[in-house]
Amino acid sequence: MLKNQCFKACLGLLLYSLAFSSNAQSLLLSGELKASDKQIFYAPKSDNWRVQVQWMMKEGEIAQQGDVVVVFDSGSIASEIEQDEVSLEAAEEELLRITTSNQEKQIEAEFNFKRTELLLARARIDAAIPHANLSTYDYQKNQLELEKALINKQKSSEELSQVKTENTVARNKQLLTIEQLKTDLAYNKTQLASMSIKAQRTGPVLYANHPWNGEKAFVGMTAQPGWKIVEIPAMSELYIEAWVHEIDYQHLQLGQQAKLLFDAYLQQPLNATLSEISTQPEERLQWGKDAYFRTRFNFNAQNLKLLPGMSAKLTIGEDSDES
C-alpha cells in the first residue's frame, strides 16, 4: 500500500513537470519584498551574556540620519563610568601632590649637595695649609675635615640621585594609574555609546524576527550579542525574493517576465523580471525537507508606497496575463 502511494506521488510529480514543459503552464510563486542595501542593528556585547532591549523606535516610522533607533539596557556601565571619573579625578590630584612633594624633596637634596660642595671647598683650602705653618693637631684636624667633607659630598650626591630616581618612579607609576583609568573610562563610554545605536541613513524602521521562535523583536526582550534586532532598508533598490521548489527550478531562465501583484495593492499589477537564480538549493525548515532555490525579481513601482517585508505574488508563463 505504501509503495503504491509513493509510486503515485512520484508519477504525479513527473506528469506535472511534463505538463509544465509541454503546455507552458503558469507557475505561481509567493515572494517577499527585500532591500538590496540596509543598515542592520545588532545586539551589542556587554559584561553580561545577554542584553535587554530598553527602547525602540516604532516599526514603520521613518528614521532620519542620526536618530537614535534602538537603546539597550546599559546595566552597571553608567555607574562604572561615574566611578571611573571620580577615580580619575582623585588620581590626577594625587599626581599633583606627588609632583609637588617630589619638587620639595629634590630642592632639599640639591641644597644639601651644594652645601657639601661648599664645605668641601673650604676643607680643601684648610687642608692645603702647609704643616710647617700649623701645629700638628690643627694640621691633622684639617686633613680629617677634608676626608669628612669628601665623604659627605659623596653621600649627598648619592642621596640626590636616589631622590631623583624615586621621584621619577613615583610619577611614572601614577601616570600609569591615570592612563589605565582613562583607558577603562574610554572603554566604558564606548560600551555605553554602543547601547544607543543611531541611524546612518534615512528609511523605515523594521523589526527583525527572533532567531528561535520567529516572533518580532519587542521592547523588553533579552537578546544575545549578535542577534539582529532592527534594520533600516535603503528604499532605492527594492526587489522580490521568492523560493522555487526544485521541481520547478528547471523551467526558470534569467530574463523571464512575470506578473507581480502585491497583497497590499491587488488592483495594481506590475511587471517583474527574473534577474538572479541561486545555483545551490537550500532546505526551508518551515516548509519541510524539500529543497528550494532562491530567486530575485526586479521591478519598477514608483507610484506605490512599499515597505520591505510586504508579500507579493508572481506568475510566470503564458497564463500569467489572465491572473
Residue 175's pLDDT band (cuts 50, 70, 90): very high
What pLDDT shows up at residue 90?
95
Q: How many domains does the chain have?
A: 2
Residues 87 and 32 in one domain: no
Domain that holds residue 95: 77-192
Shared-domain flag, residues 170 and 232? no
Is the same domain home to 311 and 239?
yes
User: Domain check: are 302 and 217 in the same one?
Assistant: yes
Establish if 18 belongs to a structural domain. Answer: no
On whether residue 7 sits in a domain, the answer given is no
98: confidence class by pLDDT, cuts 50, 70, 90: very high
Q: What is the pLDDT of residue 192?
A: 87
- Residue 237 CB contacts under 8 Å (≥ 6 apart), including other chains: 35, 36, 37
Nearest to 67 by CA among 199, 173, 162, 234: 199
Looking at the predicted structure, is the pLDDT value of residue 20 above 50? no
pLDDT at 121 over 60: yes
Alpha carbons 252 and 241: distance in angstroms, whole number: 14
DSSP class of 139: H
Q: Are residues 278 and 309 in the same domain?
A: yes
Choose one of 147, 163, 192: the last residue of a domain. 192
Single out the residue in 141, 159, 192 at which a domain terminates.
192
The answer to whether position 12 is within a domain reads: no
Positive/negative CA dihedral, 56, 57, 58, 63: negative
Q: What is the pLDDT of residue 108?
A: 93
Taken in order 293, 294, 295, 301, the sign of the CA dihedral is: positive
Would 245 be classed as within a structural domain? yes
Let me know whether 254 and 183 are in one domain: no
Among 132, 164, 192, the domain-final residue is: 192
pLDDT class for 23, splitting at 50, 70, 90? very low
Same structural domain for residues 109 and 158? yes
DSSP secondary structure string for all residues of 48-95: SS-EEEEEEPPTTPEEPTT-EEEEE--TTHHHHHHHHHHHHHHHHHHH
Distance separating alpha carbons of residues 160 and 111, to the nearest angstrom: 9
pLDDT tens per residue, range 203-249:
889 999 888 887 899 999 999 999 999 999 888 789 999 999 988 88
pTM of the model: 0.55
- pLDDT tier for residue 1 given thresholds of 50, 70 and 90: very low
Whether 16 is covered by a domain: the verdict is: no
3 domain-assigned: no
Q: What is the pLDDT of residue 318?
A: 57
Which residues are CB-neighbours of 20 under 8 A, at least 6 positions away? 27, 248, 251
Q: Give domain status of residue 13, yes or no.
A: no
Tell me: do 268 and 236 sit in the same domain.
Answer: yes
Taking 90 as the threshold, does the pLDDT of residue 50 lie above it? no
